[in-house]
Amino acid sequence: MWQRTAILILGMMAALPAAALDYQSVIEAAVLYDTPSRQGTPLYAIARGTPVETVVALDAWVKVRDSTGDLAWIEKRLLSEKRMVIVSADRATVRAQPYDAAPIVFEAERDVLLELAGPGPIGWAKVRHRDGRQGYIKALQVWGN
C-alpha cells in the first residue's frame, strides 16, 4: 500500500511546474512603492541597472524582490530584459576561465553591477564589467542569476 502512495505522490510532484526565477534590470533610477500606484507610499529609490526578481506582474506594475529580499512595486516600463547581477560577496574574483586556478581578470567589491554575458557551467556565471572586461565569477558571489 505504501508503495502505491509513494508512486502517487511522486507522480503528482512530477506534474508540478518548475518554479523559474525571472530576473530583470532597472532601466533608469526609479522609486519603488508599497502598492502598485504612484499614490502609494514611496519606499526607496533603486539605481539604474540593478537586478530585481519578478514576483507578480500586473498591467503597468510589477512586484519585485531586490538583492536584500525587500518586496516593492515598480512601474513595468522601468524594467528591461537585460540581465544584470550584483556582487553579494564582500569581494568577488572574476577569472578568465570557470575554475578556481584560472588567471584573475579583475576583482569586484560588494554592490558592483555586472552584466550577465552568457551562460556558464554549473556554479559559475559569465559576466562583463561596464569597462568591457569579462570573465567568470562564482555564482554564489553574485545575486540575480
Indicate the fold that domain 84-143 takes in CATH: SH3 type barrels. (2.30.30)
User: CA distances (Å), 61 to each of 28, 64, 115, in order?
Assistant: 15, 10, 24
Task: Note the pLDDT of residue 21.
Answer: 76
For 56-96, what is each residue's pLDDT tens digit?
Answer: 999 999 999 999 999 999 999 999 999 999 999 999 999 99
Task: Note the pLDDT of residue 4.
Answer: 47
CATH architecture of the domain formed by 20-80 = Roll (2.30)
75 beta partners:
61
117 beta partners:
none
Q: Please tell me if the domain spanning 20-80 has the same topology as the one spanning 84-143.
A: yes
Residue ranges per domain, the chain? 20-80, 84-143
Q: In the predicted model, what is the mean pLDDT of residues 109-122? A: 95
Task: Note the pLDDT of residue 66.
Answer: 97
pLDDT at position 3 over 60: no
What does the DSSP 8-state code read for residue 103? P
